[in-house]
């Protein structure tokens, strides 16, 4: 049974962009800002103190199961020091 909230197409795209950009994150104020804010409200993304959004573990899992299904999600890359 499906028990996750529905993601609109635009929000699915925003989550995919978050996974593509990786550790640099996406800045606030872009066209997908409302979707990034919605994803953050769902716990799939978070706004960092530097003003950039990044995918959370829950967001990465949702991406791996719903948007780009893979047999195993790759490990999250560490940010440069």
- φ and ψ at residue 48, rounded to 5 degrees: -75, 165
**More confident of the two residues 72 and 67:** 67
In a domain, 1, yes or no: no
Q: Residue 6's pLDDT band (boundaries 50, 70, 90)?
A: confident
Nearest to 48 by CA among 24, 31, 72, 64: 24
Domain of residue 30 covers 9-67
| pTM, 2 dp | 0.78
Number of structural domains (the chain) is: 1
In a domain, 73, yes or no: no
pLDDT digits (tens, 9 = 90+) for 33-68: 999 999 999 999 999 999 999 999 999 999 998 888
Residue 80 has pLDDT above 70, yes or no: no
């Amino acid at each position: 049974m499906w028990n996750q909230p529905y993601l609109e197409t635009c929000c699915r795209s925003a989550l995919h962009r978050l996974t593509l950009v990786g550790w640099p994150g996406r800045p606030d104020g872009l066209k997908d800002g409302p979707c990034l804010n919605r994803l953050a409200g769902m716990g799939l993304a978070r706004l960092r103190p530097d003003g950039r959004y990044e995918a959370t573990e829950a967001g990465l899992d949702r991406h791996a199961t719903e948007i780009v299904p893979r047999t195993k999600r790759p490990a999250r890359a560490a940010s440069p020091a």
